[in-house]
Each structure stands twice: as structure tokens, then as C-alpha cells.
Structure 1
Amino acid sequence: MLSYSKYIIDAHAHIFPEKIAQKATDNIGSFYDLYMNFDGTADMLIKQGDECGVSKYVVQSVATVPHQVKRINDFIVKSVEKYPDKLIGFGSLHPDMKGMEEEIDRLISLGLHGIKLHPDFQKFAINDEKACRLYDAVGDKLPFLIHTGDKRYNYSNPSLMAEIARKYPHTRFIAAHFGGWSEWEKAERELVGLDNIWVDTSSSFYSMTPEKAAELIRKFGCDRVFFGTDYPMWRADNDLEFLDRIPLGEDVKEKVLWKNINDFLGLGLC
């Protein structure tokens, strides 16, 4: 554990049921043509994180088709119940699902802390009319964590994320991967300065220098950046070592490591 930080929270981790975890992980690796370091199970997430001092993990999965939504949300809830001191759950929704309002109410009643969307996997643009049904239904009840950025597609274009953030000023959005995986310059141009946008560091450090990461943290705001690994893709120990080399003060790094997400989700750590 980094000596200057009281806690470390991984604010972006994916987990899958044991029976399908390796297959789901392999599919993600194929989609991005990137090596996957782990098997996608909650047990492995916690094991590898414990080895480098991670305290808690925000976990989620993505419903690629509507009928998966309830099953995935039940799995996340059961995983949190199994590891209540370690896991913080985000639920899943799908723009084409039926019973959206009822499922949102159920997510809240089950104690889930937010909603994860992946436009590139779920095949909808962030600003699609059907996606707006989700934002309308959720309002300010829960924050959204949205995969943002992929230069191969337009679904998650940072400019679309900016459009929706402006359209829904009272909804909180976490634009994953510093707001634009593989499109960081566009994310910086489109998203910096928006009051309801936060970002995480997941799947970003591998593609930038510590100096660039420091620049992005300063531009987005030292109170608006969350540490995340995108498990099972990246190793927490490597990402923490990289963060330790970022030329920013220890007080800023401690905010990124846990204080910001603690305040954002109201976790009550102190």
C-alpha cells in the first residue's frame, strides 16, 4: 500500500460469474486486442488487490442484451453480499429493456450505488433517444459510469458524452478512461470544465506518461478523478506504481486513490 494513502479504492472493476468469467474476459481481450491479466472472478480481483493494498472495489458488469439485466444485477448484489467489506456494486441497464423504472427502483432498494453503461458493447450512441430514456428515468437518483471513447466507433464519442452532460445537468456522469479511451485529446477538449462530469484513470496509464497523467488530473480537477484498473485487464500493482510516479503532491494522489470516490458515493470512510 502506498504509505501516504489511508485507503485505496479501485473505482472501475468488472467481475463475472465463475462459470463464464474466463470466456467473458477473453471476449473483452479480443474486442480491444489487449492482453488480459486476470480471469474476471471476484476472488481473483480481491486476491491481486490485497497483495498491493487495495481496500475496496467498485464492481460492475454490462448487459449486452436486455434479458441479461436482472440476472447481472442479481449477480452483483450476491457478490457484494459475499464480500461486504470489499465490494461496492454498480448495476446494469439496457436502453431496449422493458420495465426500466421498476428495475431502477429495485437497484436502489438493493443498495447498488450507480449504473454502468458500455455503449460500444451495448450498441447504442450515448445521445440516442433510447439512451435518453435511461437518463430521464434515473435523473439524479444514481450516477452513471459510462465507457467513453473508442476511435473505431462513434457510439461513445466524448463529444456525445459532453452533449448529454449538458442536456442532463443534474445527473452525475463518470466518463471512464479519462473521458475518452484512445481519444484522450478529444476528451480533454470536450469534457474538461463540465460540472457534472467526473473521470477515472482506468485503461489509460498504459498509453501515457506520468507527466501527461498529471496534466489531465489538473485539467479535469484534482477532486474529479478516481483511480481505477479496469480489472481483469490491468494489474493494480502496475497502475499503483505508475500513479506513484505522477508528478503531483501526495495530497492529490490520496484524493485520486480514495477520497474523491468516497465523497462522490458517500461511502463514509474517513
Structure 2
Amino acid sequence: MKATQSIGDFYSIPMRYEGFPHVLVESGRRIGVKKYLVCSTATKPEQVESINDFIYEKCKKYPEFFGFGTLHQHTPDYEAEIERIKSYGLHGIKLHPDFQRFHIDDPKMIPVYRAIAREKLPVLFHMGDAHFDYSAPRRLANVMQQVPDLIAVAAHFGGYNEWDEADKWLKIPNVYYDTSSSLFALSKEKALKMIDHFGVEKFFFGTDFPMWDHVEELNRFLALGLSEEENDMILYKNFERLFGITI
């Protein structure tokens, strides 16, 4: 798929799989995945509706999918699109500031975040990147000061390539974190230190499929040596608690 190849080229990381839904399910089945958070990103405003339609249709076809919609910083009527995302039964919104080329704390985005917060939809942010400054952890911290009731999931331990900055800026009540695209690069000591710093109750296990293999990512996570209860919290209990579901 073109999108899969583009992501691999952007990060200079070979993509392990093609990003088709059935391939995702086949890969996740090997480690017993029961729910998949599925999302995509609109790099142009005219893509927003079609991507949200696509996620909605795939969630109908695959009941194990837990869909997030998307927005673009230039979405003309973002409030109407947020309502459409809600009507589709999608559970949050994915934004990738580096692909979409906007600063997380752009003043024009603050009303958008406020509208999202009113609907109690979490926002999954790609965070931290050596390419640009769009998704720097301090920018999300600035947003959370202005919109404290927004629920944010700061991907990649809060800041891919910027973990020290994530440590500094992102210990914030309504900010959560995922493990995706991080454990291949983080030392065991650093990963454990960050989990302790932010709180084990704030983390979700993620693979960033199709970039990484489910079995390898689970093995990397289990190699951290957390307790069984801590593993269960990160693997599914924290997610259940945030979204009010049972996996």
C-alpha cells in the first residue's frame, strides 16, 4: 500500500507488513489480541471525511476493531465532523502533527481541542520527532494548560526520539502514553524509569502495526520484567478503565 510505504520512507524503517485490516488481524491473533485501536491520518483536509468513513466501515466489518477518527487542522467545519465521528461510534481522534505539518499548540487548534474535550473524545497524538518541532512534548504541555479537560494519549512513551523532553514536560493528569515504536530503541532501564515516572496506570501497550511485528513487540514489552499485575494493566486493564469497556 502507498501509505504504508510512505510511512516507512519517512522514518527510514522497513515496514514489516502491508497495512490491510485482515493482515492486522492475522498478525495480532498470534498473541491473542482481542481489540485493536485502528486509526489513520488525513494529510489534506479533503481526506478527512473519506478516512472517517473508511474507519467506520472497517469497524463494522471487524467487530474487534476500536476505531478513532481523524481531523485536519484546516477542516472547514470541525464541529460537524466531530459530531459525525461521534455518530459513527468512533471513540477518539488521531492527529499526527509531523505528517499534517502543524504545531500541536497552534492557537488555531485550541478551539478544536475544546470542542473535542466537550465530547469527551481522547486525542491520540504522535509525539516527538527528530524531523520537526511540530510534536515536541512541551507543545502538548502548553495545550493541556489551556484545555485541561482534554484527554490526550501521547504516543511513543510521550515522545519518539525526545524521551528526556517527555519526562520533563508530560507528567500531566489527563495525559496517557503508549509503548508503540519505542521499545526497539529505549533501554530497559530507561523504559522502566519512564513507566515509574508517569505511572504504570497511564500506559497502553501498542505495536504501531504495520511497522512492527506483534510477537516481537510483546516479547520486548514482557522483557521489561514488570509484575504480572503491571503487565495486565498496560496490556488491557488501563484501556478498559479509560474507555469503560471489557476486553
Q: Give TM class, smaller chain.
A: over 0.9
The superposition leaves residues 213-244 of structure 1 with CA deviations (integer Å, 9 ceiling, x where unpaired) of 22211111111000001111011100101111
User: Equivalent residue for 1:251?
Assistant: 229
AA matched with 1:225:
F
Residues 80 and 87 in structure 1, CA contact (< 8 A), matched pair in contact too: yes
The superposition leaves residues 162-204 of structure 1 with CA deviations (integer Å, 9 ceiling, x where unpaired) of 1111211111000110110011111111112x10110000000
Quick one: distance in 2 between partners of 1:52 and 1:263? 22
User: In the alignment, which of 49, 68, 84 is matched to residue 47 of structure 2?
Assistant: 68
User: Equivalent residue for 2:84?
Assistant: 106
Whether 1:125 aligns to 2:103 is: yes
- Unpaired stretches in structure 1, ≥5 consecutive residues: 1-21
How many aligned residue pairs are there? 246
User: Equivalent residue for 1:115?
Assistant: 93
User: Equivalent residue for 2:9?
Assistant: 30
AA matched with 1:44:
V
User: Equivalent residue for 2:217?
Assistant: 239
User: In the alignment, which of 15, 19, 22 is matched to residue 43 of structure 1?
Assistant: 22
* Residue 136 of structure 1, CA deviation: 2.1
Distance 1:72 1:155, change over 3 A: same
User: Equivalent residue for 1:202?
Assistant: 180
Give me the CA root mean square deviation.
1.0
The superposition leaves residues 3-53 of structure 1 with CA deviations (integer Å, 9 ceiling, x where unpaired) of xxxxxxxxxxxxxxxxxxx11100000001111111011110000110121
* Residue 268 of structure 1, CA deviation: 3.0
TM superposition score normalised by structure 1: 0.89
User: In the alignment, which of 126, 140, 143 is matched to residue 147 of structure 1?
Assistant: 126
Residues 222 and 255 in structure 1, CA contact (< 8 A), matched pair in contact too: yes
Whether 1:158 aligns to 2:137 is: yes
- Unpaired stretches in structure 2, ≥5 consecutive residues: none
Quick one: distance in 1 between partners of 2:139 and 2:130? 13
Quick one: distance in 2 between partners of 1:131 and 1:43? 35
User: Equivalent residue for 2:159?
Assistant: 180
Query: Bigger shift: 127-136 or 89-98?
Result: 127-136
